Structure 1
Amino acid sequence: MAYRPDKCLLPSILKERRLSARELSFLTGISETAISDYSHNRRQMTLSTAKTIAEALEIPIDDLYTWKQSSSKMG
């Protein structure tokens, strides 16, 4: 069974931590526009971007999204 990212959880994480997209941008070097796009599910993060954000927020990378099972096989 494969998994795929579903809904980005950045908005709730940032709200909980009282951080703005601007502050996250400063911490990570990722543009505010990109962070907004991820937050509004207009784009999905690359693995390296997700790792960068997760490290900056000190959370597991899996916590950035809800996940859906996909019936397609990977590999």
Structure 2
Amino acid sequence: MSFKVGRCLLARRLREAKMTQQDLCEKLNMPPSQISDWANDVKKMSLGNAKSVAHALHIHIDDLYEWIPVDPSERKRARRRKE
């Protein structure tokens, strides 16, 4: 089974951890705009940033996004359409 990245769950995970975006900024030494973009699903995190955020929140990296199952045949069709 394959997956595609769905919406970001960072805002929810911050609430569950009783942390603010500012708390996370300070913990990771990142600009508030970057954390805000992720929490509001404006931009996707890089794999390295997602790992850092997951570590800071004491969660698994998979818990930062919704994961949408994609049938392998759908992926092949999508690739063919691009060609």
Flag whether TM exceeds 0.5 (same fold): yes
Structure 1: tracts of 5 or more residues without a match: none
Residue identity over aligned pairs, in percent, reads: 34
- Corresponding residue for 2:75? 72
Q: CA RMSD in A?
A: 1.3
- Corresponding residue for 1:13? 13
TM-score, normalised to structure 2, is: 0.79
- Corresponding residue for 2:47? 47
Find the aligned partners of 1:58 and 1:42 in 2 and give their Cα distance. 23
- Say which is worse superposed, 64-73 or 46-55, in terms of deviation: 64-73
Query: How far does residue 42 in structure 1 lie from its aligned partner after superposition?
Result: 0.6
Structure number having the greater helix percentage: 2
Find the aligned partners of 1:15 and 1:59 in 2 and give their Cα distance. 13
Query: How far does residue 50 in structure 1 lie from its aligned partner after superposition?
Result: 0.2
Deviations 1:8-56 (A, max 9, x none): 1111111122211010011112221111111111100000000000011
- Is residue 4 of structure 2 the alignment partner of residue 24 of structure 1? no
Structure 2: tracts of 5 or more residues without a match: 77-83
Find the aligned partners of 2:28 and 2:3 in 1 and give their Cα distance. 26
How many pairs align? 73
Query: How far does residue 69 in structure 1 lie from its aligned partner after superposition?
Result: 2.1
Query: How far does residue 72 in structure 1 lie from its aligned partner after superposition?
Result: 1.4
